[in-house]
Structure 1
């Protein structure tokens, strides 16, 4: 991965407490996995920023190498990689996602 792509990814991740690399945009996800993570974050009323990897091939490939995780979406909280759709879904169902967000000082709606 090019250094400049890694730098762009770092800047994106640090631009928001909660950052999602996804296919599409939150209002119009382009895959079911991205839609599922957007729905979970929306249900928790967690503000987040996102990047559409479909519109940026460098970031699409670079993020997989950056996180050493092969799939999109990828969720980051306070700069730390949390996981993809399955991990986020499992954490949410177990209450672990809410706990993580609370631990990081990010307000979540009561579920």
Structure 2
């Protein structure tokens, strides 16, 4: 499977997915850390993928998403955005609606 097909399959298979630098326990980027902590406050099922583990993923996900930076939050096959957007949605009490709106398995 090529990398673009792999990315597409990951996004399809996981209703909520966060591509981040590092892991939940060892974030390697302040923005990834802050984004993951926000998502964790909602107690939803989320898949976290460390893009630092895969050079191809780190290289091709921005092209696939047409979004140049990490982290990237995807919900129900739709890119929500990075930390700035997630933070804005969170403080305006809109993120939970997005997380719950199209996801039936959380």
**Counterpart secondary structure, 2:67:** coil
Partner of 1:92 in structure 2?
A: 90
Choose from 4, 9, 12 the match for 1:6: 4
Paired residues of 1:46 and 1:107 also in contact (CA < 8 A): no
Are 2:33 and 1:35 equivalent residues in the alignment?
yes
- Deviating 4+ runs (over 2 angstroms): 105-108
The more displaced of 34-43 and 95-104 is 95-104
Paired residues of 2:21 and 2:28 also in contact (CA < 8 A): yes
Structure 1 unaligned residues grouped into runs of 5+: none
Are 2:74 and 1:76 equivalent residues in the alignment?
yes
For normalisation by structure 2, the TM-score amounts to 0.92
When the two chains are superposed, the root-mean-square deviation of aligned CA atoms in Å is 1.7
Structure 2 unaligned residues grouped into runs of 5+: none
Between the aligned partners of 1:49 and 1:38, the Cα distance in structure 2 is 10
* Deviation at residue 106 of structure 1 after TM alignment: 5.1
Paired residues of 2:27 and 2:33 also in contact (CA < 8 A): yes
Between the aligned partners of 1:107 and 1:46, the Cα distance in structure 2 is 9
* Deviation at residue 107 of structure 1 after TM alignment: 7.7
Choose from 28, 42, 45 the match for 1:44: 42
For normalisation by structure 1, the TM-score amounts to 0.88
- Cα 1:12–1:107 change in 2 (3 A) is closer
